[in-house]
Structure 1
Amino acid sequence: MPKIRPCRCGHTPELEETFSNINGNFRRRYYVYCTHCGKKSILMETRTKAIKTWNYGIMEEAAL
């Protein structure tokens, strides 16, 4: 998990995770969103080649 740094306004932002499958690639993006000032920024993105979409949960467990 990525580290969350305090926002410029001094508040701790919340971590959001989005998950999409584009052309057989899984993209997992971590965003930080500050509820106080409304600033949203991308923290990191990981991409994984999908073999079969239905067994992604098994692949994820094997990767850990």
Structure 2
Amino acid sequence: MFTVLAAISGLEREHVPDRTLEGHESVRKRGKTIGGTGVTSEDIVSISSRYDELCPSSMLPIRMQDK
């Protein structure tokens, strides 16, 4: 019984990457993107400046302030 289940599991494991790639191709054909939006340098600067406003350096642990 376990041998049969192990064989089926092995076959499924072989087909998962193929189905995943087919799904990605299908999504791309519909004009959608996979994954999150890209992050630009401007986004990073914006986020870091907001963080500095909310958490001034005096709130950082001592070991971080020494660097």
TM band (smaller chain)? under 0.3
- Give the structure, 1 or 2, with the largest relative contact order (CA under 8 Å, sep 6 or more): 1
> Bigger radius of gyration, 1 or 2?
2
Q: Larger helix proportion, structure 1 or 2?
A: 2
TM-score by length of 1: 0.21
TM-score by length of 2: 0.21
